[in-house]
Amino acid sequence: MKEHLYTIPVNEAFDHGDGCPFCRLFENLEKTELDLILGASMMEPEVRQITNEKGFCERHFAKMIAGNNKLGVALILESHLESLKSGLKPGGVFARDISAKSRERIEKLDSSCYVCDRIDEKIGKMYETAAFLFDEEKDFRRKFDSVGFICLPHYRRLLEAGARVLSKDGYSELARAANGKINAYLSELKDDISLFCKKFDYRFDDLPWGNSKDSVERSVKFLKGAKK
């Protein structure tokens, strides 16, 4: 078997069995990146240059603020705001429009995040590693079949990675296995949600809840994954 980048974390995530393994990888990467940005990387000038430029998404600002280093967040913000002061050029007072430069800068800020970009870079390689492992290792296929589910956003990213790195046959097998998982979990969720709805009708008071009690939360996890 060829050694691939990220073989170890990908295998570990699939060993767990419950939940989406890619959500687990995402959460681990996110935790590492948040620890780094408010710890070892915080004062590095080259990192500061990137955080000044990219800023953070709402989710990651919130997570940073909820951490235990608010001074660290403030120091990052201090230079981020300073860089925005020189980057934003108010104007267009008479043209009834924001200046083109400001618009471009704000649009960029709206869609960029230092932490998200760092996670994306690594998790992108992890989808590829998972596709390779599925193709090459019988043992990994067994793990793949036994994970709880793969959420929809990560299912898409996995198949995109598979299409990039696998042969036509290899991709077909991965797609077949992944589609099987998605279809089975969709049916299960749909049944659980229907039962959940029924339980609000007094005529079904005696019907057991089965697995339906947390079906609303599980449906959202399946639809949205760990990311937002």
**Pairwise CA distance, residues 34 & 39, whole Å:** 8
Query: Smallest distance from the beta carbon of 115 to Zn ion, in angstroms?
Result: 5
Between 23 and 38, name the residue whose CB sits nearer to Zn ion.
23
Q: How many Cβ atoms sit within 10 Å of the Cβ of residue 101?
A: 14
First-to-final CA distance of the chain: 36
Among 6, 22, 132, 149, binds Zn ion (CB under 5 A): 22
Taking CB under 5 A as the binding criterion, the range among 95-103, 134-142, 146-154, 169-177 that sits at the site for Zn ion is 146-154
SS (H, E, C) 173-190: HHHHHHHHHHHHHHHHHH
How many residues in the chain? 228
DSSP H or E run through 208:
none
- Give me the amino acid identity at 43: M
Contact set for Zn ion, span 114-133 (CB under 5 A):
115-116
Q: Which x/- pattern over 189-228 shows residues binding Zn ion (rule: CB under 5 A)?
A: ------------------------------------x---
Between 7 and 225, name the residue whose CB sits nearer to Zn ion.
225
114 close to 56: Cβ distance less than 8 angstroms: yes
Query: Smallest distance from the beta carbon of 59 to Zn ion, in angstroms?
Result: 5
Read off φ and ψ for residue 220, nearest 5 degrees: -65, -40
151 binds Zn ion (CB under 5 A): yes
Q: Which x/- pattern over 25-64 shows residues binding Zn ion (rule: CB under 5 A)?
A: --------------------------------x--x----
* Residues forming the site for Zn ion (CB under 5 A): 20, 22-23, 57, 60, 113, 115-116, 151, 154, 225
